[in-house]
């Protein structure tokens, strides 16, 4: 790289991809999304209601220590 420092991208296992901001992100429909955040969490699971940005929906799981019949 010439005169620029590398931008860090961190893949979170079972979570988002963290990208140092600001970012301009183009989705497959051609729409450009922007964020001025210091670190931007890009959704990798496609469950986010704020896609392409993570809204922590990837965390929602059925707890295996609670009976599923509601008792
Ligand atoms: S990675 Fe967090 S909602 Fe998709």
pLDDT in tens, 3-51: 788 999 999 999 999 999 999 999 999 999 999 999 999 999 999 999 9
45 contact partners, CB below 8 Å, separation of at least 6: 14, 15, 16, 57, 58
- CA 12 to chain centroid: 9
Please give the model's pTM, rounded to 2 decimal places.
Answer: 0.80
Q: Do the domain assignments include residue 18? A: yes
Question: Could you tell me how many residues make up the chain?
Answer: 71
Q: Which residue among 13, 15, 40 is best mutated to probe the pocket of ligand 1, counting the most ligand atoms within 8 A of its Cβ?
A: 15
Does residue 31 lie within any of the structural domains?
Answer: yes
Give domain status of residue 68, yes or no: no
Q: Examine residue 19 and state whether it is found in any structural domain, yes or no.
A: yes
- The neighbouring-strand residues paired with 52 are none
pLDDT for position 60: 83
Cα of 11 from ligand 1 centre, angstroms: 12
Let me know if residue 41 belongs to a domain.
yes
pLDDT, residue 44, reads 96
For residue 40, tell me if it sits in a domain. yes
What pLDDT is attached to residue 69? Answer: 62
pLDDT value at residue 4 = 80
The answer to the question of residue 27 being in a domain is yes
**Counts for the chain of helices (H) and strands (E), in that order:** 0, 5
| Structural domain count of the chain | 1
Structural domain of residue 18, as residue ranges? 9-59
């Amino acid at each position: 790289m010439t005169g620029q420092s590398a931008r860090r991208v961190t893949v979170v296992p079972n979570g988002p991809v963290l990208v140092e901001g600001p970012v301009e992100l183009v989705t497959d429909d051609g729409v450009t999304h922007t964020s001025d955040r210091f670190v931007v969490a890009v959704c990798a699971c496609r469950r986010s209601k704020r896609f392409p940005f993570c809204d922590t929906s990837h965390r929602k799981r059925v707890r295996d220590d609670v009976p599923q019949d509601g008792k």
